[in-house]
A and B are shown apart, each in its own frame.
Chain A
Amino acid sequence: MIYFLCKGLLRDRSRSLIPFLVVTVGVALTVLMEAWISGAVGDIIETNAKFKDGHLKVLSRSYAEQQSQYPLDLSLTDTQHWLQILRQKYPSVNWQMRIYFGGLLDFPDENGETMAQGPVAGTGIDLLSPDSKEKEYFNLNSALVKGTLPQNPGEILVTDQFFERLHLSIGQSATLISVGMDGGMAVHAFKVVGTINFGVTGLDRGAIIADVSDVQEALNMIDATSEIFGYFKAGRFLKQQAMTISQMFNQAYSKPNDPFSPVMQTFLDGDIGQAMGFMDRYLAFILIIFVFIMAIVLWNSGIMNGIRRYGEIGIRLAMGETKNHIYFTMLGEALIVGIIGSILGTMVGLIPAYYLQEVGFDISSMMGSTTSSILISTIMRAQINSMTFWIGFIPGVLATGVGTLMAGIAIYQRQTAELFKELEI
Chain B
Amino acid sequence: MTERSIISLDQVDKVFPVGDGKFYALKQIDLNFEEGEFAGLVGPSGSGKTTLLNVIGALDKPSRGRVSVLGQDVSQLRAKESAHLRSEKLGFIFQTHNLLPVYTVYENIELPLLLLRTPASERKKMIMETLEWVGLTDKWKSKPNKLSGGQCQRAAIARVMVKRPQIVLADEPTANLDAENSHMILKTMKKLNQELKTTFIFSTHDEKVIQYLVRKITLTDGKVTQDEIVNKLKESR
Contacts and interface: CB of A to CB of B under 8 A. Distances in A.
Nearest to B203: A420
A322 B79 contact: yes
A252 interface: no
B94 A423 contact: yes
B60 A417 contact: yes
Interface in B111-170: 111-112, 114-115
B234 interface: no
B92 interface: yes
Nearest to B163: A319
A322 B95 CA distance: 23
Interface stretch (A110-118, A280-288, A308-316, A378-386): A308-316
A7 B104 CA distance: 11
B111 A424 contact: no
Contacts of A7: 102-103, 107
A199 interface: no
Given A4-B114, A319-B115, A322-B80, A311 B60 contact: no
A419 B115 contact: no
B60 to A, nearest CB: 4
Contact of A322 (B83, B88, B103, B107): B83
A8 B101 CA distance: 9
B50 A4 contact: no
A342 to B, nearest CB: 24
A317 B82 CA distance: 10
Most buried by B among A12, A320, A325: A320
A366 interface: no
A314 B59 contact: no
Contacts, number: 87
Interface in A345-366: none
B86 interface: yes
B85 A417 contact: no
A16 to B, nearest CB: 10
B115 A11 contact: no
Given A322-B80, A417-B60, A314 B111 contact: no
B107 A320 contact: no
A318 interface: yes
B44 to A, nearest CB: 16
Contacts of A420: 50, 53-54, 59, 92, 94, 171, 203
A234 interface: no
A92 interface: no
Contact of A4 (B85, B95, B107): B107
Interface string A296-317: 0000000000000001101111
B109 to A, nearest CB: 12
Contacts of B88: 320
B100 A312 contact: yes
A18 to B, nearest CB: 15
Nearest to B99: A315
A69 interface: no
Interface in B70-104: 79-80, 82-88, 90, 92, 94-96, 98, 100-103
A166 B101 CA distance: 80
A320 B115 contact: yes
A39 B194 CA distance: 75
Given A8-B102, A425-B96, A419 B59 contact: yes
A182 interface: no
Most buried by A among B84, B103, B110, B172: B103
Contacts of A188: none
A15 B102 CA distance: 10
A312 B97 CA distance: 11
A36 B67 CA distance: 67
B171 A320 contact: no
Contacts of B114: 1, 4
A314 B98 contact: yes
Contacts of A318: 57, 59, 86, 92, 94
Contacts of B84: 320
Interface of A: 1, 4, 7-8, 11-12, 15, 311-312, 314-323, 325, 416-417, 419-421, 423-425
Interface of B: 50, 53-54, 57, 59-60, 79-80, 82-88, 90, 92, 94-96, 98, 100-103, 107, 110-112, 114-115, 171-172, 175, 203
Given A317-B83, A319-B86, A320-B112, 9 more contacts: A316-B111, A319-B111, A320-B83, A320-B90, A322-B79, A325-B115, A419-B54, A420-B59, A420-B94
7 contacts: A15-B102, A312-B100, A317-B83, A322-B83, A420-B53, A420-B54, A420-B59
